[in-house]
Amino acid sequence: MQESIDTLSEDFSRVEEEVDQHISTIAELEEVLDEDETTIADLRQQLSMLRAKLHSTTDENHALAEKKKKYRAASLSKQDYIDNISRQLLSTRDVVFQQNATITRLKGEQAKSQQMIDQLQKHSAKLSVENLSISTRNVTMAEENVARFTAYQQQIDQKTKEVAYWKNLCRRPNPNPAQTQQARRRQGESDSDTSESGPLEDQEIAQLGADYRCR
């Protein structure tokens, strides 16, 4: 009987050490969680800023498109004017030189307008590509950090539940060595392969905790 009590005392001492290790692990995970929450908050703020910038760029693109339409309409109008002047030259020799000068000037303005249209198109395409790349990269980073935050939270929840179980077990009277050993084996399986065995169910914790007490 004394030997059984001594063995049980050693088992509970090891359990207390495991509980301390779990508490230390939870503290470390909480520190990592705080850092990740700060990182996620920063990324969300950056994401909001990028979205706002994207909306602003979209508005600018719309404005540039409107300017493009106006320039194109102006170019067509100037071309019509050039055609009219050309027809007048056929019947009015007295104003040939003046009309030729006007035509030259209008053609120069038309070339400048077309050049400006080309520049606006290139600038619009460049802004669209840059903002799409930045937005996609930051959204991906934010999603990865949120997934990592969720995994840390699940680990903390599991460790907290396990520590509560062992604390509850240590407060129960008349510990049964066989069931205590069984609970430790179950706990070891949970720590070694949480994806297959998982933590003890609440009903099993309540049943085992009703039969034991460490002190």
Tell me the residue range of the domain where 168 lies.
2-209
Looking at the structure of the chain, the number of domains it has is 1
Tokens read off for 66: 């409107």
The predicted model gives 147-160 an average pLDDT of: 85
User: What is the spatial distance between Cα 82 and Cα 90, in angstroms, rounded to a whole number?
Assistant: 13
The pLDDT value given to residue 67: 87
Residue 213 confidence (pLDDT) above 70: no
Higher local confidence (pLDDT), 113 or 93: 113
Of the candidates 42, 26, 30, 25, which has an alpha carbon nearest to the alpha carbon of residue 145? 42
- Give yes or no for a contact between 38 and 149, defined as CB atoms under 8 angstroms apart: no
Tell whether 203 is covered by a domain. Answer: yes
Q: For residue 114, tell me if it sits in a domain.
A: yes
Q: φ, ψ for residue 212 (rounded to 5)? A: -125, 160
Per-residue pLDDT, averaged over 184-205, amounts to 48
Contact predicate 103/86, CB 8 Å: yes
The pLDDT of 89-100, averaged and rounded, is 70
214 pLDDT band, cuts 50/70/90, is very low
Rounded to an integer, the average pLDDT of 49-74 is 87
Q: Does the residue 214 lie in any domain?
A: no
- What local confidence, expressed as pLDDT, does residue 5 receive? 65
pTM of the shown model: 0.28
Point out the least confidently predicted range of 27-31, 88-92, 134-138.
88-92
CATH code: domain of residue 185:
1.10.287.2610
pLDDT band for 163, please (50, 70, 90 cuts).
confident
CA atoms within 13 A on the CB side of 57: 18
Per-residue buried b or exposed e for 75-93, using 16+ beta carbons within 10 Å of the residue's own CB: beebeeebeebeeeeeeee
pLDDT of 212 over the 50 cut: no
DSSP string, 21-59: HHHHHHHHHHHHHHHHHHHHHHHHHHHHHHHHHHHHHHH
pLDDT in the model for residue 176: 56
Phi, psi (degrees; rounded to nearest 5) at 195: -70, -25
Residue 215 in any domain: the answer is no
Residues sharing a CB contact under 8 Å with residue 117, sequence separation 6 or more, in sequence order: 68, 71, 72
Cβ atoms of residues 156 and 26 within 8 Å:
yes
